[in-house]
Amino acid sequence: MADAAIDASRYRVAKSTRASIIALAVMAVLVPALVLAPAVMSRSLLQDLFFVLTMITLAQCWNLLAGFGGLVSIGQQAFVGLGGYAGFALAILVGFDPLAAIACAGILGALLALPTGFVLFRLQGAYFAIGTWVAAEVYRLSFAQWTTLGGGTGTSLPSDVARGIVGLETVATLFDVRSSHARDILSYWVALVLAVAVIGAIYAFLRTRNGLALSAMRDNPDAAESVGVDVRRVKFAVYVFAAAGAALTGALIYYQKASITPQSAFSVIDWTAFVLFIVVIGGIGTLEGPIIGALILFALQNWLADFGTWYLMALGALAILVMLVAPRGLWGFVVERYDFSLFPTRRRLIGPDTPVPDYTQPVREMRLPHAAGVSGADLPLEVPTMFDIETDVLIVGSGPAGVASAALLSSYGVANVMIEKYSWLANMPRAHITNQRTMEILRELGVEEEVYKEAVPQELMGNNVFCESLAGEEVGRLLTWGNHPARRADYELASPSKMVDIPQTLLEPIIFGKAMREGCLVRFKTEYLSHTQDENGVVVTVNDRVADVTYRIRAKYLIGADGGRSQIVEDLGLPLEGKADLAGSMNIEFDADLSHLVEHRPSVLYWIFQPGSAGGIGAGVLRMIRPWHKWLGMWSYDIAKGRPNYSDEEIRQILFRLIGEEVPLKVTRVSYWAVNNIVARRYSVGRVFCMGDAVHRHPPTNGLGSNTSIQDAYNLAWKLKLVLDGTADPALLDTYNDERQPVGKQIVNRANKSITDTLPIFDTLGISETETQEEMRRQLDTRKASTVEAEAQRKALNKQIRNKSYEFNCHGVEMGQRYRSAAVVPDGTPEPEYTRDRELYYHPTTWPGARLPHVWVERDRQKLSTLDLVGRGRFTVLTGVAGAGWSLAAARVSAETGAEVRAIQIGPGCEINDTFGDWALVSEVGDSGCVLVRPDGYVGWRAPMLSADPAAELRQVMRRILGRAA
């Protein structure tokens, strides 16, 4: 919002356009030419021009009333007739010069408009329109009673009266013509003057503030009143003006005709229907329209008037057509297409920061629905159109990455909109393993407990069984997901959160709920179509599939989380490396009570070696969705042969092979997917950031998919927040790509490798080539022999099964990412060595780029993790007892940079107590040193001890991270 005062002198308001100045010049030439025209024109041409000019005048007056003022009248013939009769009365009965009679007729028209308007303004809208018609009828009937002027049959102008007009002889002599011709010339001149004067007067009026008042009254009379416009006065002003114009024209027309009847003078067809057609076809609400319309009518009249009724019917049909198809008429079309105006009235504000839009581009009219209680009578009939949405971040896709982004951004206070093509979140329980890093993020969001309630705990996850079938012989078993006592310690030490198994169908709603509570705006059944971006933001075109309406969403940044077949990735042209469709796999969801087969060995995954299952993910799998009655069976198919068309019975047979016995079961869904080995080489272009499956596509082995997706979101969210609130430079957003792309690459490789690690087991067991159950059983039995080969085989099998720890106990891969980017400031120390296998084991360190290690500390007797002290959208400086200098530095730098940097001292006597002394152990800095933790819990920098000028150092580091290093 603006707070500084503005220099108004840098702004000006322009009304004229180049076109209008040219038009003015043209008029300056044209009008005198028209004045001189009688010298060269034939009499019939003169009469034609007279017709055109008078119609133009009438049309301009009507246009002022209806087009500019919103007062639709179909009774202007009242004043035309009045003018005609007044002119005649004054000329014949009172003896005025016809010219004076015409002028006075105009005044009379204006005077009578006052009481007429007074009565008629009690009506609104269409009823006002009919009321004007009634008024005209009243006038007609009244004048038809006036026998002095011929009553119902009318009268004619005596020729001596007609010739009594001033200047007739002069004109006749000047142009050397007879008096009737001279009368025509004079009439023509008066018509010309009248037309020019009326157009000039209207134009001048519209350019004053009264023009604005008129438009305001047309658009919303109530609101106009409330800003001080005297609506009644404006209404009367235009009504009286139009009446005067009509009366003057009527008087002139009938002077020229020299005879009058009530029928003709008050004819609806001649003075309203034709005028309506002129204005509507020419262009209502513009000054140019009536001119064009009059010319068109004239042309039509000339060609078609002989056709009598057909001509009128054609006019009627034409008016209907124009009203439906091009309601703004011919000139309206020109204005819209070319923003071209000869008589412009729009005010344009020109100055810094005030763009003048390209008026030829359709600016979408936003139709906002009215609140109930307001009369909806004037709402359009079609289904309410969507309006353009504007937000800071648009998220496409409501998978794990999408909802996580929405929840995080919303809780950071960033306005965001999430759109999803389908009508709800995941309906297939694909992702399920939720590792500790992800749980920590959910912990920060405050939904950790909710997840624990819904999830299957770690203890029930870890008996990874390798068998011939569930009921059949077990070939080997591995304790996984941290369930081995030795590994359990690793897992418990590493994080305050526990790894769990929760199907995507249950996890997404929890995160989604958080996002909604925090203010995310979601649109389901809204499909991303395309986007464009420029230096100010992104415009995304989407389609609401319910209303089948396409509209646009404007955002400063776009997050593409639209899954493994991401359209956004394709639109951006992100380079992808790797291969898709390496192998085919099927998921068969089914309900069956298998507890008797698994309760003694609870696990989330059971690996089944069956003939024909070795493709796909490496073996057949039975995965527990809900213990122990909801399952997912995985089987492979030859992707080269395309999707198989299994019947229901064949599906059941596959399941029975996996289970090993024919238990009662019910198949609920079958779906097909392919193994991919794809990672994007770049995750972002400009203001568009892709995450999740869109940029790393791999099989579900290792259970890393949704975890990585959510962590992608976590990495980007705080950066977007800081850039959007101006604290950080947009360069910070580049670090998203630098930090997460290597991770994506690593997990894609790891997941694909895990598949290949399964094949050796088949080989060792000798069952990779078997085709029947009997064959397989015979092979499996070989390892039970007491031969030397069998012993070797048993040893090999043992080794290979333990090797699967790289799939199921890959703690290092799950927890140990270390970032290298501009948002990590090295402290000059070398990367600490990996003392154990870096994939299997997590190595906690505070080396910049690593995640802050977890240890338990205490505040006021409440147990907290170090991870609870950091994150939440702000920077944190962790220091010890001797680190007060860092606290002060943090406060200063916080104020200077605008980024919240909170300092926390850990140690005796401090806010946080290092209960077990574990922090001192893992902090890797001295008591006076500090660890700067980024809003995503990763270490941005550290110092071993207090430096001479901690504020300067911290400032420099922060500026680097925020991308503001000079």
Partner 1 sequence: MIIADTLIQGILLGGLYALFATGLSLIFGVMRLVNLAHGDLMVVAAFAILIGVEALGLPIILAAIVAGVGMFAFGYLLQSLLLNRTLGKDILPPLLVTFGLSIILQNGMLEAFSADTQRIPFGALGGASIALGGGLAVGVMPLLTFVSAVAVIVFLNWLFYHTETGRAFRATSDNPEIAQLMGIDNSRIFALAMALSLVVVAIAGLYLGARATFDPLVGPSRLIFAFEAVIIGGLGSFWGTLAGGIILGLAQSFGAQISPEWQTLSGHIVFLLVLLVRPRGLFPRAVD
Partner 2 sequence: MLLEIRNLNRAFGAVTVADDITLDVAEGEALGIIGPNGAGKSTLFNLITGRLAPDGGTIRLDGTDITRMPARRRVHLGIGRSFQIPQPFVQMTTYENVSVAACFGAGGSERAEEGHVVDVLHRTGLLARANLPAGSLSLLERKRLEMARALATKPRLLLLDEIAGGLTDAECVSLIDTIRQINASGTTIVWIEHVTHALLAVVSRLVALDFGKIIGEGEPEAVMASDAVRRIYLGLEV
Residues near partner 2 (CB under 8 A): 1-3, 5-6, 8-9, 11-13, 208-209, 212-213, 215-216, 218-220, 222-230, 346-349, 351, 353-357, 363-366, 368, 370-371, 374, 387-390, 392, 413-415, 519, 521
Of residues 92 and 386, the one with the C-beta less far from partner 2: 386
416-419/576-591 β-pairing: unpaired
Binding partner 1 (rule: CB under 8 A), the pick from 8, 29, 368, 377 is 377
User: Counting contacts by CB under 8 A, is residue 276 touching partner 1?
Assistant: yes
Binding partner 1 (rule: CB under 8 A), the pick from 93, 94, 107, 145 is 145
User: Counting contacts by CB under 8 A, is residue 295 touching partner 1?
Assistant: no
Q: Which of 72, 83, 135, 112 is CA-nearest to residue 265?
A: 83
Smallest distance, Å, CB 213 to partner 2?
Answer: 6
Contacts to partner 1 from residues 915-944, by CB under 8 A:
none
Choose among partner 1, partner 2, none what residue 224 binds, the Cβ cut-off being 5 to 8 Å by kind: partner 2
Q: Which two tokens stand for residue 175?
A: 């142009």
Cβ neighbours around 172 below 10 Å, total? 19
Binding partner 1 (rule: CB under 8 A), the pick from 306, 378, 534, 833 is 378
Of residues 119 and 349, the one with the C-beta less far from partner 1: 119
What are the beta bridge partners of residue 607? 466, 621
Binding partner 1 (rule: CB under 8 A), the pick from 58, 265, 275, 284 is 284
Of residues 544 and 712, the one with the C-beta less far from partner 1: 544
Cα distances from 310 to residues 271, 292, 313, 957, in angstroms, run 19, 23, 5, 86
Q: In whole angstroms, what is the distance from residue 510 CA to residue 325 CA? A: 50
Lookup result for tokens 């007729």: 105
Q: In terms of DSSP H, where are the helices of 121-158? A: 125-145
Q: Which of 225, 289, 220 is CA-nearest to residue 64?
A: 289
Smallest distance, Å, CB 306 to partner 1?
Answer: 14
Of residues 200 and 351, the one with the C-beta less far from partner 2: 351
Smallest distance, Å, CB 677 to partner 1?
Answer: 49
Q: Which amino acid is at 50?
A: F
Smallest distance, Å, CB 209 to partner 2?
Answer: 4
What are the beta bridge partners of residue 348? 14
Lookup result for tokens 């020299």: 258
Choose among partner 1, partner 2, none what residue 772 binds, the Cβ cut-off being 5 to 8 Å by kind: none
Q: In terms of DSSP H, where are the helices of 329-416? A: 329-338, 400-411
Q: In terms of DSSP H, where are the helices of 208-340? A: 209-219, 221-226, 231-257, 262-265, 268, 274-282, 288-304, 309-325, 329-338
User: Counting contacts by CB under 8 A, is residue 236 touching partner 1?
Assistant: no
Of residues 9 and 309, the one with the C-beta less far from partner 2: 9
User: Counting contacts by CB under 8 A, is residue 141 touching partner 1?
Assistant: yes
User: Counting contacts by CB under 8 A, is residue 324 touching partner 1?
Assistant: yes
Smallest distance, Å, CB 199 to partner 1?
Answer: 22
Of residues 2 and 640, the one with the C-beta less far from partner 2: 2
Q: In terms of DSSP H, where are the helices of 855-949? A: 866-869, 884-897, 918-922
Smallest distance, Å, CB 422 to partner 2?
Answer: 25
Beta strands in 646-721 (DSSP E): 666-680, 684-685, 688-690, 696-697
Query: Please, which residues have CB within 8 angstroms of residue 355's CB and are 6 or more apart in sequence?
Result: none
Query: What would the DSSP string read from start to end of 434-476?
Result: E-HHHHHHHHHHT-HHHHHHHSEEGGGTBEEEEESSSSS-EEE
Q: In whole angstroms, what is the distance from residue 172 CA to residue 921 CA? A: 117
Distance between terminal CA atoms of the chain? 27
Binding partner 1 (rule: CB under 8 A), the pick from 381, 486, 640, 966 is 381
Phi/psi for 452 (5° steps) reads -60, -35
Cβ neighbours around 629 below 10 Å, total? 14
Choose among partner 1, partner 2, none what residue 908 binds, the Cβ cut-off being 5 to 8 Å by kind: none
Choose among partner 2, partner 1, none what residue 365 binds, the Cβ cut-off being 5 to 8 Å by kind: partner 2
User: Counting contacts by CB under 8 A, is residue 315 touching partner 1?
Assistant: yes
Choose among partner 1, partner 2, none what residue 14 binds, the Cβ cut-off being 5 to 8 Å by kind: none
Smallest distance, Å, CB 131 to partner 1?
Answer: 7
Number of amino acids touching partner 1 (CB under 8 A): 54
The answer to whether 466 touches 761, Cβ cutoff 8 Å, is yes
Query: What would the DSSP string read from start to end of 61-96?
Result: HHHIIIIIT----S-THHHHHHHHHHHHIIIIII--
Q: Which amino acid is at 703?
A: G
Query: Please, which residues have CB within 8 angstroms of residue 299's CB and are 6 or more apart in sequence?
Result: none
Q: In whole angstroms, what is the distance from residue 930 CA to residue 923 CA? A: 9
Smallest distance, Å, CB 150 to partner 2?
Answer: 46
Of residues 285 and 627, the one with the C-beta less far from partner 1: 285
Of residues 8 and 368, the one with the C-beta less far from partner 1: 368
Smallest distance, Å, CB 22 to partner 2?
Answer: 22
Q: In whole angstroms, what is the distance from residue 389 CA to residue 554 CA? A: 6
Q: Which two tokens stand for residue 921?
A: 């152990």
Of residues 26 and 119, the one with the C-beta less far from partner 1: 119
Binding partner 1 (rule: CB under 8 A), the pick from 37, 138, 304, 822 is 138
Q: Quick one: which segment of 311-319, 349-357, 535-543, 709-717 binds partner 1 (CB under 8 A)?
A: 311-319
Choose among partner 2, partner 1, none what residue 227 binds, the Cβ cut-off being 5 to 8 Å by kind: partner 2
Q: Measured at the alpha carbon of residue 452, what is the angle toward residues 448 and 454, in degrees to the nearest 5?
A: 120
576-591/549-560 β-pairing: unpaired
Of residues 75 and 816, the one with the C-beta less far from partner 1: 75
User: Counting contacts by CB under 8 A, is residue 98 touching partner 1?
Assistant: no
User: Counting contacts by CB under 8 A, is residue 310 touching partner 1?
Assistant: yes
Q: Measured at the alpha carbon of residue 157, what is the angle toward residues 154 and 162, in degrees to the nearest 5?
A: 160
Choose among partner 1, partner 2, none what residue 247 binds, the Cβ cut-off being 5 to 8 Å by kind: none
Q: In whole angstroms, what is the distance from residue 429 CA to residue 427 CA? A: 7
User: Counting contacts by CB under 8 A, is residue 323 touching partner 1?
Assistant: yes
Smallest distance, Å, CB 65 to partner 2?
Answer: 16
Binding partner 1 (rule: CB under 8 A), the pick from 91, 237, 251, 280 is 280
Smallest distance, Å, CB 62 to partner 1?
Answer: 12
Smallest distance, Å, CB 379 to partner 1?
Answer: 5
Choose among partner 2, partner 1, none what residue 582 binds, the Cβ cut-off being 5 to 8 Å by kind: none
User: Counting contacts by CB under 8 A, is residue 129 touching partner 1?
Assistant: yes
User: Counting contacts by CB under 8 A, is residue 304 touching partner 1?
Assistant: no
Interface positions with partner 1 (CB under 8 A): 66, 72, 74, 119-120, 122-123, 125-127, 129-131, 133-135, 137-138, 141-142, 144-145, 152, 268-269, 273, 276, 280, 284, 309-310, 312-313, 315-320, 323-324, 327, 369-370, 372, 375-381, 383-384
